[in-house]
């Protein structure tokens, strides 16, 4: 049987007060609609349709390259009208209706709902809320069968007392929708074509409505304004934190922790407060991450210690390295075992060999360092000549004195020593000492000039 997933994303989201369409606002670093699409992808749909309207071009651009069909709803005349824009494209099999602004729905919940659907049965996801104001209410008969959904604005006082609400998520068949959607009318309090009216049509045909509920109300929470957005973000992050705690990760404060992507941790990882993880990050056994650290698309092997306020991006870090505080590892940084990158050190496209140290105030870019190298404070690889980038090659056991400029392309042979304050622009052979600075002059008994009074 075919499965079509329809994601409604045409609304403006006026209350976000933003130039950006609502469904493009990010939750955990990812647009709301992409969360929904990622979940939909797990269902093995035959086709996925995204109904766009407000900011259509921006939404299309964001989803460029994904396997979706766009249906343009030029005027927003209601949820039924929105789904109707896809009718020509729908198969006769199952159809699942989702929302671009309801990001946390889980695939398990949807699979369970889809299992209920056939030509004689519809699936409806409902949720019971203490404060159901604004939602469509589920009206059931004496036997408990769903007879219709009434929108809050159309509901009587008695109906407004119903706490079982429509989440909006519906599973039907293409055949049913092709029969019912053309019959919708807009004669209601909002003058809209309500998708929810198909439930009265189903009841009239004796078609049963199977209801299910999500494991958590968070799954069906929608975003209408920035306050709800922030609340959902916190709830999502709290949930991620709880899962890591369960897996054995020590978080100094689960309320001050953010993952925007995928974070995988080994045993006995410790993460201090205020850390942010973006993209794809792995932390090996026993890794310790100091406070206010940002790690993006990086892999950190077992036993490495990262101290406070470090920024690590696109880096591969081996076992027992020591980073920070205040270190910045940029893309292409590869630190070998037991290497050290200390405070106010920036690295980029740099390989740092086993046990090598860059402890203070340096820039090491487009460079490879062997093992046992010591880079003195204030060393700079001058990798850019204004037009091109050049590499610096440093052999094993090289010692670079403080405040040295290494003008690339340049190579320092194994065991070479560079005197402090040097500007090195020519290769230094293995085992040699190179000093490139003006000689010190000293005048004994020097009399400083004095002001005449």
Report the nearest approach of ligand UD1 to the CB of residue 30 (Å): 17
Q: Does 136 bind ligand UD1 (CB under 6 A)?
A: yes
| Between 79 and 333, CB nearer to ligand UD1 | 79
* Positions 302 through 361 that interact with ligand UD1 (CB under 6 A): none
Active site residue 360: yes
- Those residues with Cβ within 8 angstroms of residue 152's Cβ, 6 or more apart along the chain or in another chain: 132, 133, 134, 135, 136, 137, 160
**CB-count burial class (<10 Å; 0-12, 13-18, 19+) for 272:** buried
Report the nearest approach of ligand UD1 to the CB of residue 45 (Å): 19
Q: Does 211 bind ligand UD1 (CB under 6 A)?
A: no
Which of 76, 147, 282, 417 is the binder for ligand UD1 (CB under 6 A)? 76
Q: CA gyration radius for the chain?
A: 31
Q: How many residues bind ligand UD1 (CB under 6 A)?
A: 26
Site string for ligand UD1, 78-117 (x = CB under 6 A): xx-xx----------------xxx----------------
Q: How do strand 288-289 and strand 340-352 relate by DSSP bridges?
A: unpaired
Report the nearest approach of ligand UD1 to the CB of residue 155 (Å): 10
| Between 188 and 417, CB nearer to ligand UD1 | 188
Which of 73, 298, 310, 349 is the binder for ligand UD1 (CB under 6 A)? 73
Q: Does 51 bind ligand UD1 (CB under 6 A)?
A: yes
Q: Does 199 bind ligand UD1 (CB under 6 A)?
A: no
Which residue stretch of 57-65, 71-79, 260-268, 281-289 sits at the interface with ligand UD1 (rule: CB under 6 A)?
Answer: 71-79
Site string for ligand UD1, 222-261 (x = CB under 6 A): x---------------------------------------
Kindly report the number of other CB atoms within 10 A of residue 142's CB atom. 5
Q: How do strand 250-251 and strand 275-283 relate by DSSP bridges?
A: unpaired
For 183, the token pair is 């019959």
| Between 136 and 342, CB nearer to ligand UD1 | 136
Alpha helix stretches (DSSP H) within 154-263 = 157-160, 174-180, 198-204, 226-246
Kindly report the number of other CB atoms within 10 A of residue 153's CB atom. 11
| Between 201 and 273, CB nearer to ligand UD1 | 201
How far are the Cα atoms of 105, 334, 416 from residue 356, in angstroms, in the given order? Answer: 48, 12, 14
Report the nearest approach of ligand UD1 to the CB of residue 229 (Å): 14
For 85, the token pair is 């824009």
Q: Does 298 bind ligand UD1 (CB under 6 A)?
A: no
| Between 8 and 375, CB nearer to ligand UD1 | 8
Q: How do strand 164-173 and strand 399-400 relate by DSSP bridges?
A: unpaired
Which of 3, 10, 271, 411 is the binder for ligand UD1 (CB under 6 A)? 10
The rounded distance, in Å, linking the Cα atoms of 60 and 205 is: 38
Report the nearest approach of ligand UD1 to the CB of residue 36 (Å): 10
The rounded distance, in Å, linking the Cα atoms of 333 and 433 is: 28
101 closest CA partner among 16, 174, 216? 16
Q: Does 194 bind ligand UD1 (CB under 6 A)?
A: yes
The one catalytic residue among 54, 299, 360, 390: 360
**Phi, psi (degrees; rounded to nearest 5) at 230:** -65, -40
| Between 13 and 303, CB nearer to ligand UD1 | 13
Q: Does 77 bind ligand UD1 (CB under 6 A)?
A: yes
- Cis, peptide link before residue 325, omega less than 30° from 0: yes
Residue whose structure tokens are 């949930």: 239
422 closest CA partner among 408, 399, 406, 441? 406
Q: Does 11 bind ligand UD1 (CB under 6 A)?
A: yes
* Positions 143 through 172 that interact with ligand UD1 (CB under 6 A): 149, 151, 165-168
Report the nearest approach of ligand UD1 to the CB of residue 80 (Å): 7
Q: Does 181 bind ligand UD1 (CB under 6 A)?
A: no
* CB distance 93 to 174 below 8 Å: yes
* CB distance 166 to 136 below 8 Å: yes
The rounded distance, in Å, linking the Cα atoms of 264 and 14 is: 37
Which residue stretch of 103-111, 193-201, 303-311, 366-374 sits at the interface with ligand UD1 (rule: CB under 6 A)?
Answer: 193-201
Report the nearest approach of ligand UD1 to the CB of residue 170 (Å): 9
The rounded distance, in Å, linking the Cα atoms of 206 and 3 is: 23
* CB distance 283 to 301 below 8 Å: no
Which residue stretch of 7-15, 207-215, 254-262, 441-449 sits at the interface with ligand UD1 (rule: CB under 6 A)?
Answer: 7-15
For 275, the token pair is 């850390």
Active site residues: 360
Residue numbers of the site for ligand UD1 (CB under 6 A)? 8, 10-11, 51, 73, 76-79, 81-82, 99-101, 135-136, 149, 151, 165-168, 194-196, 222
């Amino acid at each position: 049987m075919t499965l079509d997933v329809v994601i409604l994303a045409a609304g403006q989201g006026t209350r976000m007060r933003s130039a950006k369409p609502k469904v493009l606002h990010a939750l955990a670093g990812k647009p709301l609609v992409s969360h929904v699409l990622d979940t939909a992808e797990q269902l093995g749909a035959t086709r996925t349709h995204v109904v766009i309207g407000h900011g259509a071009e921006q939404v299309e651009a964001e989803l460029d390259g994904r396997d979706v069909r766009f249906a343009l709803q030029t005027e927003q005349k209601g949820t039924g009208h929105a789904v109707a824009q896809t009718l020509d494209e729908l198969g006769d099999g199952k159809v699942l209706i989702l929302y671009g602004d309801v990001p946390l729905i889980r695939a398990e919940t949807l699979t369970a709902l889809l299992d209920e659907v056939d030509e004689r049965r519809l699936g409806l996801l409902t949720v019971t809320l203490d404060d159901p104001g604004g939602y469509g209410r589920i009206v059931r008969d004496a036997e408990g069968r769903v007879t219709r959904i009434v929108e809050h604005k159309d509901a009587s006082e008695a109906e407004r007392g119903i706490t079982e609400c429509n989440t909006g998520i519906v599973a039907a068949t293409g055949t049913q929708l092709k029969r019912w959607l053309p019959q919708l009318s807009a004669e209601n309090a909002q003058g809209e074509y309500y998708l929810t009216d198909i439930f009265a049509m189903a009841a009239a045909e004796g078609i049963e409505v199977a209801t299910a509920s999500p494991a958590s109300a968070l799954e069906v929470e929608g975003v209408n304004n920035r306050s709800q957005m922030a609340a959902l973000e916190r709830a999502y992050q709290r949930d991620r934190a709880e899962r890591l705690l369960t897996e054995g990760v020590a978080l100094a404060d689960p309320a001050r922790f953010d993952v925007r992507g995928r974070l995988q941790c080994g045993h006995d990882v410790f993460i201090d407060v205020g850390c942010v993880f973006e993209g794809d990050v792995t932390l090996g056994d026993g890794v310790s991450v100091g406070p206010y650290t940002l790690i993006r698309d990086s892999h950190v092997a077992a036993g490495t210690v990262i101290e406070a306020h470090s920024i690590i991006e696109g880096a591969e870090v081996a076992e027992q390295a020591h980073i920070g505080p205040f270190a910045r590892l940029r893309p292409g940084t590869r630190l070998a075992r037991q290497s050290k990158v200390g405070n106010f050190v920036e690295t980029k496209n740099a390989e740092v060999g086993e046990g090598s140290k860059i402890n203070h105030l340096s820039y090491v870019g487009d460079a490879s360092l062997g093992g046992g190298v010591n880079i003195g404070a204030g060393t700079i690889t001058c990798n850019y000549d204004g037009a091109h980038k050049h590499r610096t090659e440093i052999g094993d056991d090289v010692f670079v004195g403080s405040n040295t400029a290494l003008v690339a392309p340049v190579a320092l042979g194994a065991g070479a020593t560079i005197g402090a304050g040097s500007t090195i622009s020519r290769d230094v052979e293995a085992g040699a000492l190179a000093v490139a600075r003006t000689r010190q002059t000293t005048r004994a008994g020097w009399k400083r000039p004095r002001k005449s009074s």
